[in-house]
Amino acid sequence: MAQDVNANDNVVSTAREGAVAVLTLQSGPVNALGTALRQGILAAVEAAEADAAVKAIVLIGGGRMFSAGADITEFGKPQSGISLPDLLNRIEASTKPVVAAIHGNALGGGLETALACHYRVAVPSAKVGLPEVKLGILPGAGGTQRLPRVVGPRKALEVIVGGSPIGAKAAAAMGLIDELAPEESLRAHAIAFAERVVAEGRPLLKIRDRDDKIAEGRENPGLFSEFRQENARKTRGFEAPEACIACIEAACRLPFDEGLAFERAEFQKLVSGTQSAAQRYVFFAERQTAKIPDVPDDTPARPIARVGVIGAGTMGGGISMNFLNAGIPVTIVETKREALDRGLKTIRTNYENTAKKGKLKPEDVETRMGLLTDTLEIEALADCDLIIEAVFEDMGIKKEIFSKLDTIAKPGAILASNTSYLDIDAIAAMTNRPADVIGMHFFSPANVMRLLEVVRGEKTAKDVVATAMQIGRKIGKISVLVGVCHGFVGNRMLAERQREANRLILEGVTPWDVDRVVYEFGLPMGPFTMSDLAGLDIGWSRETNKSQSVRDLLCEQDRRGQKTSAGFYDYDAKRKATPSTVTEEIIAKVAERQGVTRRDATDQEILERTLYPMVNEGAKILEEGKAIRASDIDIVWINGYGWPVYRGGPMFWADTIGLPKVLERLRAYQAEYGDAFKPSALLERLAAEGKGFKDL
């Protein structure tokens, strides 16, 4: 019978099972290792050690998991109580064996705690990992020193620099977990394990004393530079990955305590830097998007058992895949057999390619395709709970479809449009049920990109908003609620950047320089590379767009982007881009015709002129209430356009520059180029009050 012998402010409870003290962490939803929990663990471990009747200690998580690591909200604040590294050294130094019993997650400081224990058992469903790099920091409680000693430097690099959690079975195969326990009896299993350790008189296995696995790092120091090279593209611009690598190198080179000191210094540098502040902000910003002030969490969502998708083109196909992946049946509609067959083939090929890469079981390809019903009859959507229209961006066609849907869809069905720009209210007005109409704007490729802009119309019902947000999460998206305006949040801001980029090239800056500056800032590509990728002829027609702009002239010469091997750039067979003199000549011609004065611009000017108008537009979006909070705008830009997460999104970035500075530059450009740069009232006000978007 368990006997409760100690409780520390309820965050750690100690129960005695024979000679084993079971310390249960019970702090909040994720057992974040904040001050109270650290102090609680320290007191409980010391009490167990002092108790002569206790021969071994089991550390186990109460609730959903072992621990999600250090309390992220405490970073950047003065530390109180014992630090996590000191606590872990103390656990490791325990004179009685400590066994970590892991279920749910053991992440970051959570896994580091387990690594400071002498043994680790876990249930197969548990996940362990060191995701600190994703917060712009490193596993600073000994993780960079202990993990390589258990799994070797190569695997440690993958786990620490990659940051993705791994399953307990894989962790056991690496030697990171000593024993797997049955799902339903972790506690009992861990106690029995601890008793066995005592009975067999097994030694206290301290990872700090191990040297065998890190020998590889000394014998083959080249593995670090190889790893750097292999991952250069993924880690571009980030500070934390390099610091992680340096620490793992140090683990192989230095005695344990010196390695710990090295890790500590690197950790302090990172945690006090802007990148980590940005990445931690993004962690919480992502979670904020789910909170809608007038749509409480408990708003009942409408059940979605079947989804209809209208259009089997690139968007419709990608959208369908999201639902199929989540096990939700889809009916896909097209007007022509040929288009439908092409769409189905693309979906199948996508799945087969994923299976070839080993990321999907071959039988799952069939399971997913089996959930897909194809039809040429829009009436077949009558039994769908959610219908997403993903046809050509033409208001006339969309209006027609929605009035038809109004007669077909069952009562209560949600009617959504995937439009990227158009007025959802005008679309909703075509139906007798505008409360059921909403925008669900997916980003291309829709089966890959994480962002979903959920567009709330004037009359959209609250439960429809709640359902769209939830179904978005269910299919693995980050849903961000936005209001009706041209281009919503993302594309509306993008248009500002594009306009300025176009103006810059007429003034004589080359497209390659604009792209280079934007790329060096950290975005995946600049505006002209992006146009070439998307296709310059989207929305272009030979009849209506006659030789007015650079784009018109490029399209007229059949330079339509990557797909025609020429756009702003020339492309070789491997799609490698080279600057084009043809493009430069076209630009010069248009500039001359429009009487634009050619001049030089510094990289700083290119950056300011392309990105500050976006920030200004973001401020207008907030002013108009088209986004709930500045951080939602940042999440749109990070997940929809690849804004570098280490810069926290355009609004966070503007705060780091200081709004008075941004305002001053916008005013200067306004004086030169006109009201496209006119600062928004919100920006003016915040700058005057010495505040940032973060203070809204």
Q: Which residues bind ligand TC6 (CB under 6 A)?
A: 29-30, 32, 68-73, 84-85, 105, 107-109, 131-132, 135, 139-141, 267, 284, 287
Q: Please state the closest distance from residue 25 (CB atom) to ligand TC6, in A.
A: 13
Cα(2)–Cα(310) distance, integer angstroms: 60
Cβ proximity to ligand TC6: between 37 and 223 the closer is: 37
The three-state (H, E, C) secondary structure of 280-335, written as one string: HHHHHHHHHCCCECCECCCCCCCCCCCEEEECCCHHHHHHHHHHHHCCCCEEEECC
The reply to whether 286 belongs to the active site is no
Q: Please state the closest distance from residue 127 (CB atom) to ligand TC6, in A.
A: 8
Cα(310)–Cα(332) distance, integer angstroms: 6
Q: Which two tokens stand for residue 368?
A: 């997913």
Q: Please state the closest distance from residue 609 (CB atom) to ligand TC6, in A.
A: 36
Cβ proximity to ligand TC6: between 108 and 644 the closer is: 108
Cβ proximity to ligand TC6: between 268 and 557 the closer is: 268
Picking from 496, 494, 487, 571, the residue whose alpha carbon sits closest to that of residue 532 is 571
Which residue type does 533 have?
L
Picking from 613, 638, 644, the residue whose alpha carbon sits closest to that of residue 274 is 644
Out of 92, 112, 249, 496, the active site residue is 112
The reply to whether 92 belongs to the active site is no
Cβ proximity to ligand TC6: between 248 and 461 the closer is: 248
Cβ proximity to ligand TC6: between 32 and 340 the closer is: 32
Which residue type does 231 have?
N
Q: Please state the closest distance from residue 235 (CB atom) to ligand TC6, in A.
A: 18
| 601 φ, ψ (degrees, to nearest 5) | -135, 140
Q: Please state the closest distance from residue 439 (CB atom) to ligand TC6, in A.
A: 25
Cα(547)–Cα(535) distance, integer angstroms: 17
Q: Is 508 left (phi over 0), alpha (psi -120 to 50) or beta?
A: left
Q: Please state the closest distance from residue 141 (CB atom) to ligand TC6, in A.
A: 4
Q: Is 408 left (phi over 0), alpha (psi -120 to 50) or beta?
A: alpha
Cβ proximity to ligand TC6: between 108 and 650 the closer is: 108
Cβ proximity to ligand TC6: between 73 and 225 the closer is: 73
User: 381: how many CB neighbours lie within 10 A of its CB?
Assistant: 25
What DSSP element (H or E) covers 669? helix 659-673
Q: Please state the closest distance from residue 139 (CB atom) to ligand TC6, in A.
A: 6
Out of 92, 132, 263, 453, the active site residue is 132
Cα(633)–Cα(219) distance, integer angstroms: 48
Q: Which residues contact 117 (CB under 8 A, 6 or more apart)?
A: 59, 91, 92, 98, 99, 100
- The single residue listed with the structure tokens 């065998």 is 212
DSSP tag of 185: G
| 594 φ, ψ (degrees, to nearest 5) | -85, 0
Active site residues: 112, 132
